[in-house]
Amino acid sequence: MKPPIRVLVVDDSAMMRKLIPQMIQKDKEIEVVGTAINGNFALRKIEELRPHVITLDLEMPGLNGIETLKQIMRTHKTPVIVVSSYSTEGASITMKALGLGAVDFVAKPTDLQPISEVEQELIAKIKAAATSKGVCALPETPVKVRKTASFSNKPASKVIAIGISTGGPNTLQYLLSQLPGDFPGSIVIVQHMPENFTRMFAQRLDDSCALRVREAQSGDLLLAGRVLIAPGNHHVRVRQMRLADVVSLSNDEKVNGHRPSVNVLFHSLAKGFGARGVALLMTGMGDDGVEGMGAVRDAGGTTIAQSEESCVVYGMPRVAIQRGYAQSAVSLEALAPTLQALCAPERGASTGASAGTNSG
C-alpha cells in the first residue's frame, strides 16, 4: 500500500483551516500533516513536515500568498494548489499565482455551491498535483505583445478546438505566444475554470500573444487569427451557418462533471466541420474530451494529444492515446509549427462556411 499524500494547509481563516482538512481527509489517500496561519509559518512547516502538496490561501496578513508562493517555487518546488476567493480581485491574484508556478486552483465555497462539489474538486486536484511534473513559471510581468495595426476578417482555414485543464494557463500562454498574428486558423478553447476567472484569463492571453483573444459570446465569428475562450459555467459549441461560422453558448447540464465541457465542444466540431476540424487535448486530469475526440476522428478531422513529457498532468491526452482517438502525440514546443502546417490554406482550396462537410 502506497503512503498517503502529505498535505499542508495554509490559510489565515480559522474556519478554512478546519474545513479544508475535514474535506480532503475523507479520502484515505490524503493525510493533512499540518496547517499554517500565514506564509512565515508555512515556510517553517514545509522544512519540518516535507509535504507533497500545499494548499495556499493568497490573501493573508504578513507574508502574503504571492510572496509565499515565490519562495516555495524558488526553494522547495512543492506543488501548490491555490484556494482562491470567488471575486474579481480573487481571479486577478489567482492568475498571477498560476503564472508564478501554482499547479491549479480551487475557488472557496460560496453559499450557492454545495460543499461536496468543492470537496471532490479539491481532492482530485491534490491527487493530480502530487503526480504532476510542476509548472514552468512565467515572467511576473508578462511582456505585452503589440498587435498588428489591423486584423483581417478572413474566414478560418480550419477550426481548432482545444481542451485543457490542470497546468493549462501557462501552457496555453506559451502555445499562443508562438503563433503569428496572421495565423490562418481560428481557435476555440475550453479551459476548466469557473466564472469570474475566464475573462481575466482571456485578457492575460490577449496581452501576451499576437492573436486576438477574448472570452466567447454567442454569435462570435470564427475568423482567422481569433481565439475564443469558453466562459466559466457555459458550454461552447461551434456551428457552421449559411453565412458564417460562429460559436454558441448554453447553460445545459454539466457533462463529465464540467461546464464548460470539452466533449460538448468536440462533438459540435465533429458535427459541423468534418475535415476542417482539429481537436487538440492538452495537459489536464480526467478524460473530458476523449469521447468527443473520437467523434472528430470519425468525422475526418485531425486529432492531436499533447505528448506525455510536456504535460504537467498527463490525464486527458493519455486516455485519448490509449483509446486510439489521437492520431499523433506532439510536444508543447512542436505544437505551434504543427498547427501552422495544418492550417496553411491549400492552393485553390476555398475556406469559410462553404468549405465544411456538414451543416451544424
Give the pLDDT means over successive 10-residue stretches in the chain (360 positions). 94 93 95 96 96 94 92 94 81 91 88 79 95 75 61 87 95 94 96 90 93 96 96 96 94 93 98 97 96 98 97 96 97 97 71 39
Q: Write down the domain spans for the chain.
A: 5-131, 159-355
Helix (H/G/I), strand (E/B), else coil: 267 = helix
Residues identified as active-site? 165, 192, 288
CA gap 102, 138 in Å, rounded: 11
Give the pLDDT confidence score for residue 359 in this predicted structure: 34
User: What is the Cα gyration radius of the chain?
Assistant: 20
Give the pLDDT confidence score for residue 358 in this predicted structure: 38
Query: Can you state the percent helix, strand and coil of the chain, rounding each to 5?
Result: 35, 20, 40
CA gap 168, 285 in Å, rounded: 11
Evaluate whether 26 touches 122 at the Cβ level (below 8 Å).
no
> What global pTM score does this model have?
0.90
CA gap 82, 101 in Å, rounded: 10
Instruction: Report how far Cα 169 is from the mean position of its chain's Cα atoms.
Output: 5
Quickly tell me which residue has 479551459 as its cell. Answer: 191
Q: What is the CATH number of domain 5-131?
A: 3.40.50.2300
Q: Do 5-131 and 159-355 come out as alike in CATH topology? A: yes
Evaluate whether 314 touches 156 at the Cβ level (below 8 Å).
no
DSSP 283: S
Give the pLDDT confidence score for residue 151 in this predicted structure: 60
Count of helix runs (H) and strand runs (E) in the chain:
11, 14
Evaluate whether 238 touches 273 at the Cβ level (below 8 Å).
yes
CATH C-level class of 159-355: alpha beta
E strand intervals along 37-93: 53-57, 80-84
